[in-house]
Amino acid sequence: MIEVIFEKCVGCGKCLKACAYDAITVVDKLAVIDIDKCVLCGACVQACPFDAILIRKKSVQHINKSEYDGIWVFVEQREGVIAGVSYELLGKGRELADQLSCELSAVLFGNELNGMAEELIFYGADQVFVIDDPALKNFRDERYSEALVYLAQKYRPAIILTGATVIGRSFIPRVAIKLNTGLTADCTGLSIEEETGNLMQTRPAFGGNIMATILTANHRPQMATVRHKVMNPLARDDSRMGTIIREEYNFELEEDQTRYISFEKEKTNLINITDANVIVSGGRGIKDAKNFVMIEELAEALDGAMGASRAAVDSDWIAYSHQVGQTGKTVKPSIYIAVGISGAIQHLAGMSSADYIVAINKDPDAPIFKVADLGIVGDLFELVPKLIKRIKEVRA
């Protein structure tokens, strides 16, 4: 907060000249600061010759960082199936843990988790914290966050990582708030700062126009959610040995504000885009929701998945679960076919790591052609049906 000490202020006006935001006026020979305009830059404090302006800042709470050690990966599972991003994080976590000479731990919640903890050790974990409880059978924000906060306060990890999935994005912010620490969302890169040992968390910013690297220097644990398909999992090693630590938490002490009703899977015969080796995506050039039938048919012919740009999703032509891009899903297929997609930088952020990119667009100057391995300039309504017909003939 900023305040004027009226006993010292003489209304000289030097603070007015220093303020670049027009936030100060002089009334009856006293400086008055408009809090709505002030950005607390401190220029007026330096300009005042009478020390009549004061900025009060909250003191930084220093913690003993030596009390925090180890890297944790929260492992997401649904109905006994571990999410692919969790394996990717274990691979990256193993690399970071080796660099810091610390242990890599996996954290697993659910019910009837038989054999799953051992699997995480095979994929890189040194130890696995398990809470196997009927209360955790189905995901609920409050219960998952309370359980993870309990473990983090007890064992004090230096770093906690989880996938930037619907589940991760839902409950991890609650954990960060309760642990009084920072959280960097949607990271695409993680590394260790050699001088300090801090986690360097890299993510797109300003609409994907720049990559920002963020540090949590004064708080622990350091927390980040990481996008699917940007890290590489380790190969499964059945010879790896590790420790399984089984914990318990009394959920009866917590008052639930929500209740689990059911989980409805999307009704589609297509593969989930995050798991697909081939993805066919449609954009604004599709012109209408009914034309996505053509995109779906091409995806089916290639045994692939159907994606979409944000423009198509915002137009309610297709469900959000198909959206590829900065505000959708990050994918890494062997082949990515962009149909009627101009190639905004936000979309490119989600698919540019594909092994081979094919673009179909009638605009020869569309940005998508700059990243495409094969670009086809033409009318998609003529080209795609011919492509579908030819593929079916070859595969018949």
Domain ranges of the chain: 2-55, 65-253, 273-395
Q: Which CATH superfamily is domain 273-395 in?
A: TPP-binding domain (3.40.50.1220)
The residue with tokens 């925090």 is: 68
pLDDT for res 208: 60
Pairing of strands 30-33, 24-27: antiparallel
Residues of the chain with pLDDT under 70: 59-61, 206-209, 253-254, 266-271
* Signed CA dihedral, 326, 225, 73, 216: sign only: positive
According to CATH, what is the number of the domain 65-253? 3.40.50.620
pLDDT of residue 312: 94
Q: What is the pLDDT of residue 268?
A: 60
CA 160 from centre of chain: 13
- The fold adopted by the segment(s) 2-55 is Alpha-Beta Plaits (3.30.70)
- How far is 139 from 153, CA to CA, in rounded Å? 21
Amino acid at 60: V
State both tokens at 311: 């423009």
Does this chain's domain 65-253 share its CATH topology with 273-395? Answer: yes
Mapped to the 3 state alphabet, what secondary structure does the chain carry? CEEECCCCCCCCCHHHHHCCCCCEEEECCEEEECCCCCCCCCHHHHHCCCCCEEECCCCCCCCCHHHCCCEEEEECEECCEECHHHHHHHHHHHHHHHHHCCCEEEEEEECCCCCHHHHHHHCCCCEEEEEECHHHCCCCHHHHHHHHHHHHHHHCCCEEEEECCHHHHHHHHHHHHHCCCCEEEEECEEEECCCCCCEEEEEEECCCCEEEEECCCCCCCEEEEECCCCCCCCCCCCCCCCEEEECCCCHHHCCCCCCCCCCCCCCCCCCCHHHCCEEEEECHHHCCHHHHHHHHHHHHHCCCEEEECHHHHHCCCCCHHHEECCCCECCCCCEEEEECCCCCHHHHHHHCCCCEEEEEECCCCCHHHHCCCEEEECCHHHHHHHHHHHHHHHHC
Phi, psi (degrees; rounded to nearest 5) at 108 = -125, 125
Q: What is the pLDDT of residue 201?
A: 96
